[in-house]
Amino acid sequence: MRILAIISGEYGARHVENIRQQGPSSWQVEVWNAPQFFPLVIDYPEDYLPEQLPACELILSFAEHKGVAELLPDIAAMTGARGVIASVDNESWLPRGLARQLRGWLEKMDVACATPKPLCSLTETDFGVTRRQRLEYDSPYISEFARYFGQPELEITIDPETRQIISAEVRRDAVCGCARYVAQGLVGLSADEAEEKAGLLHHHYPCLASMGKDIDFGDTLMHVSGNVLKDNVAAQVKPYKRIQYLAPGTRSDES
């Protein structure tokens, strides 16, 4: 699969590095460094685009400016892309209204579009947009990418006698590589401490999502991202956790 990744800073550069290191060797990943400054209204998109961009099936937009989202339909037309993933790890980079518009613009071009919020909510069939809403998509190219990167999915093996984690394999990594980092830190831990430790490791990586409170979630996207990973770990260690019971206390006779 041919991929064009659009970046404008360290956020996107780290994503591309992880994709190149951990993605299938058959993927061809090209990068375009988008402009970092745009006017409030882009009247002529061609003024901000290069004369040529490499042909691709999938566009990954990791840009840190909402102006890039307005260019994506033109970029899709230039490259022949059939799918677009525009990450939303910061509301200011791709506001919810513009994300809806972008999906509509590309749909008219018969180009599938996913705008996962946060980026690690992407699966092979859908993606998150609010706390209670997920949207489905139909694209073999986005699904192919989401087989390897998106909503973290670990496969944890636990010794039933010691209740220790003996292995944690990454079935789907976060695009930034955080899930792989967390998996390495879980090996050797007990089932009782794994969930909490997963959350700490996630924050130590560090997560690249915004620390500003997001109105769609009532929480920071970094915390939302961390909870996605913690939930995956929690579900697997739950059968092995030691259940603690509190014995009711006794009260002495009152005189």
Dihedral sign from CA coordinates of 230, 232, 237, 243: positive
pLDDT at residue 71 is higher than 60: yes
> Rounded to two decimals, what is the model's pTM?
0.90
**How far apart are the C-alpha atoms of 125 and 11, rounded to whole Å?**
25
Domains, the chain, ranges and CATH? 2-146 (3.40.50), 153-240 (no CATH)
Please give the residue that has the higher pLDDT: either 6 or 46: 6
Least confident of 80-84, 170-174, 195-199, 241-245: 241-245
Task: DSSP for 198-253, please give it.
Answer: HHHHHHHS---S--SEETTTTEEHHHHHHHHHHHHHHHHHGGGSPPP-PPPP--PP
Percent of the chain residues past pLDDT 70, beyond the cut: 92
- What span, in angstroms and rounded, lies between the C-alpha atoms of 101 and 50? 23
**Phi and psi, residue 254, nearest 5°:** -80, 135
Q: What share of the chain is helix, strand, coil (3-state, %, to 5)?
A: 40, 20, 40
> 166-178 pLDDT, tens per residue?
999 999 999 999 9
Phi, psi (rounded to 5 degrees) for 220: -80, 150
**Is residue 51 packed enough to be buried (19+ CB in 10 Å), middle (13-18) or exposed (0-12)?**
exposed
Beta strands of the chain (E only): which ranges?
2-7, 28-33, 58-61, 83-86, 112-114, 126-128, 134-136, 153-158, 165-172, 213-214, 219-220
Q: Give the whole-angstrom CA distance, residue 32 versus residue 229.
A: 30
3-state class (DSSP) for residue 39? coil
Contact 62, 87 (CB under 8 A): yes
State percent of the chain over pLDDT 90.
82
Res 41 pLDDT > 70: no
**Using 50, 70 and 90 to split pLDDT, how confident is the model at 255?**
very low
Instruction: Tell how strand 28-33 and strand 126-128 pair up.
Output: unpaired
Tokens at residue 217, please? 């979630």
> Average pLDDT for residues 99-111, to the nearest whole number?
97
Tell me which residue has tokens 């909510």: 121
- Is 97 strand, coil or helix? helix
188: number of Cβ within 10 Å: 9
Higher confidence at residue 252 or residue 216?
216
Confidence of residue 250 (pLDDT cuts 50, 70, 90): low
Q: Is the pLDDT of residue 45 over 80?
A: no
Q: Is 47 helix (H, G, I), strand (E, B) or coil?
A: helix
